[in-house]
Amino acid sequence: MVETMVEAREIITDIKDKTANPTPLGFTGLGLSAVLLSLSYIGLYPVNSMIVSMAIFLGGFAQVFAGIMAWKKGSVFGGTAFCAFGLFWFSFAGLLLLPGTGLIGAPDPISVAAYLFLWGVYTFVLLIATLKLDSKAIMFIFLTLFLLFILLAIVNATGNTGLLLIAGYVGLIMGLAALYTALAIVLNDAYGKKVAPI
């Protein structure tokens, strides 16, 4: 009896990930959308089509794209956070647009308070995760985002317009921090060294 043996050879392939870091895109989407929305809370202008467009096309799409790219790079935190908050912006735009269709009524303040509070709880858990990321800038973004959601939940539950102004400034600080982080990562990458701390 002749036995034929087929020798299995292990092929090792070294594939280098050359895809770009999606974090700047995600924080750009968050930062620009948050700054413009927060300026409306401060009273600079009303919520209008500019806010809705930013919510959909930059807050929504940019963050979802960044989340998908982060997931592809193996980042559970980046994939989850950017996709979730991108979808938050889509839902926010839906809250503004859907009542205008006549198909469904506008949400009452207590339901918006519940919506914002739940996002605040979700953000708080992500804030805990940022403690392991070794980035003070990202930790600061999630801390101020958590405070923003809680303040806006209280505003909607109580009708306290004074708190809306404070929430507007907290949102402005958070949005600017997100933009700083996005641009710092871009500059550090462009120069190949730490130009701006994150």
pLDDT of residue 7: 54
Nearest-angstrom CA–CA distance, 117 and 123: 10
Radius of gyration of the chain (CA): 21
Write the CB contacts of 107 (distance below 8 Å, at least 6 apart in sequence): 95, 99, 115
The amino acid at 172: L
Cβ-based neighbour number of residue 51 at 10 Å:
20
pLDDT at position 8, please? Answer: 55
Does residue 186 contact residue 24 with C-beta atoms inside 8 Å? yes
- HSE, side-chain direction, 13 A CA sphere, residue 190: 9
**pLDDT at residue number 159:** 93
Residue in 88, 164, 170 with CA at minimum distance from that of residue 126: 88
pLDDT averaged per 10 residues, the chain (length 198):
54 75 97 98 95 96 97 96 98 95 92 98 98 95 98 96 96 98 97 93
For the record, the structure tokens of 96 come out as 């503004």
Give, in order, the Cα–Cα distances in Å from 139 to each of 4, 6, 106, 152.
61, 55, 34, 20
Which single residue is written with the structure tokens 């009524």? 105
- Per-residue confidence (pLDDT) for residue 9, from 0 to 100: 64
pTM, 2 dp = 0.89
Helix (H) / strand (E) element for 157: namely helix 136-158
CA gap 105, 113 in Å, rounded = 16
